[in-house]
Amino acid sequence: MLNKMFKVMVVMVLLALLVPAATGVFAQGVTCSEDYSVQADDWLSKLADKFYGDVLAYPAIFEATNAVAATDSSYATIANADLIEVGWKLCIPSQEDAQALLGGQMMAEAPAMAEAPAMAEGGKTYVLVPKNLGNPYFDTANTGAQEAAAELGVTVTYQGSATADATEQIQLLNSLIAQQVNGLAVSANDADALVPVGADAIAAGIPVVSWDSQIAPGGRTVHVNQADAEGIGRGQIQLVSKLIGGAGQIAILSATSTAPNQNEWIKWMEDELTKPEYANIELVATVYGDDEDEKSYNEAQGLMKTYPDLKGIISPTTVGIAASARAVQDAGKVGQVAVTGLGTPNQMRDYVKSGAAPAFALWNPADLGYLAVYTLDAISSGKITGAPGDTFEAGKLGSYTIDENGVVLLGPPTVFDASNIDSFDF
């Protein structure tokens, strides 16, 4: 870990020193051996791994693309190496040119870096378990988890059930315990139902953290929470109130009825609604789309039929909010029914622009997956036991402390609207 951090620092120092040299290399005719068009879920270190087998070689792509962009505007100009956008054209220099661009230092370290996958093969395997597969939110969390895995020299596999169902999830976890994996990071479909299987894993020496949606204490050591539940819940009511002018009927379209995270947020929404400033807002229904697109869409349609005067839908699930916005648009009710909730900017961009969902919130799921893997690894490697007060380092995200409830908090969510939605790509 320290070794990796040292390498990152060496590369950063070298880059700072190398800017004039890099320009020189291009002056000497380094060309792009390949052009690459950025796809969803790409990030620079992933591409560096793909093209050079070395995640730390990403500055070569960064430098090369910016250099060619200076004379050819069809290439992207990358201001921030952490932010690349789908569709951008990148310049991929040859391995040789990349090496020259990085002053030879990067590739000189290649043998040491190449040890990482070998170590991982005989080394630790953790499993990142989403509520279900096929949800871009969890796919993005997995990209962050893979980034952490590469930094830590471990393998993280991504395995989930087809539906967001606790029984299916328990079956999967039992089979992972039988396979003697080295750690489990789970977004739970039911807080209590998963306690026995989580406790079995811990008893078998397999550390368990929950992330995104928690397993109750007893079935996990630490829960990696995206943001304070009270803040999320109250924030949703504040958002919908603004969008509907403080008066009218609203409904909640949630994920599954047992989802620990949504249920906690809804509890805080209901509490917020008791404040006098919301006296003119009436919560008429809470329905469940089970984090399935079609079911969520049908539920949203149902709400609009049953409550023709409905003014707002809060959907605190990335699947539900996108389906609700689509249903509002298809029903020709943009401007009459405002959708808000928790969504990914990439899924919601068009609906923000059409006015179907003018504003919503979320955290960065990739950071959440990254933090979950660092937390699990800190426990698995014995750096911490996971007890309240324990502090550990989580790579680029910095230092975290486990609170008195065994919870690690990522940080406050971002509110997205027309003014900022185009700055985010996940």
Which residues, numbered 282-311, are part of the site for ligand RAM (CB under 6 A)? 291
- Minimum gap (Å) between residue 336 Cβ and ligand RAM: 25
Inter-residue contact 410 to 212 (CB < 8 Å): no
Q: Which of 28, 168, 13 is nearest to 106 (CA)?
A: 13
Would you call 73 helix, strand, or coil by DSSP?
coil
Inter-residue contact 145 to 329 (CB < 8 Å): no
User: Which helix (H) or strand (E) segment is 90 a member of?
Assistant: strand 89-93
Binding residue for ligand RAM, selected from 142, 169, 261, 375, defined by CB under 6 A: 261
Count of residues touching ligand RAM (by CB under 6 A):
14
Q: What number of CA atoms fall less than 13 Å from residue 221's CA on the CB side?
A: 25
Q: Which of 337, 357, 338 is nearest to 347 (CA)?
A: 357
- Minimum gap (Å) between residue 245 Cβ and ligand RAM: 26
- Minimum gap (Å) between residue 257 Cβ and ligand RAM: 12
Contacts with 41 (C-beta within 8 Å, 6 or more apart), sequence order: 139, 140, 143
> Max alpha carbon distance in the chain (Å)?
70
Q: Which is nearer to ligand RAM, 95 or 238 (CB)?
A: 238
- Minimum gap (Å) between residue 72 Cβ and ligand RAM: 39
Binding residue for ligand RAM, selected from 46, 131, 234, 326, defined by CB under 6 A: 131
In angstroms, rounded to a whole number, what is the distance separating the alpha carbons of residues 244 and 74?
42
Q: Quick one: which segment of 113-121, 129-137, 269-277, 389-397 binds ligand RAM (CB under 6 A)?
A: 129-137
Q: Which is nearer to ligand RAM, 14 or 133 (CB)?
A: 133
Q: Which is nearer to ligand RAM, 249 or 317 (CB)?
A: 317
Kindly state the DSSP code that residue 39 receives in the 8-state scheme.
P
On the 0-12 / 13-18 / 19+ scale of CB atoms within 10 A, 133 is middle
Binding residue for ligand RAM, selected from 317, 347, 375, 380, defined by CB under 6 A: 317
Binding residue for ligand RAM, selected from 319, 327, 337, 339, defined by CB under 6 A: 319
- Minimum gap (Å) between residue 317 Cβ and ligand RAM: 4
The yes or no reply on residue 135 touching ligand RAM (CB under 6 A) is yes
Would you call 256 helix, strand, or coil by DSSP?
coil
Binding residue for ligand RAM, selected from 342, 373, 379, 421, defined by CB under 6 A: 342
Which residues, numbered 184-243, are part of the site for ligand RAM (CB under 6 A)? 187, 212-213
Q: Which is nearer to ligand RAM, 255 or 408 (CB)?
A: 255
> Which residue number has the CB closest to ligand RAM?
137
- Per 3-state DSSP, what percentage of the chain is helix, strand, and coil (rounded to 5)? 50, 20, 35
The string over 278-289, giving b where at least 16 C-beta atoms fall within 10 Å of a residue's C-beta and e elsewhere, is: beebebebbbbb
Structure tokens of 295?
């079911």
- Minimum gap (Å) between residue 255 Cβ and ligand RAM: 4
Q: Which is nearer to ligand RAM, 124 or 131 (CB)?
A: 131
Q: Which is nearer to ligand RAM, 93 or 198 (CB)?
A: 198
Interface with ligand RAM by CB under 6 A: which residues?
Answer: 131, 135, 137, 187, 212-213, 255, 259, 261, 291, 317-319, 342
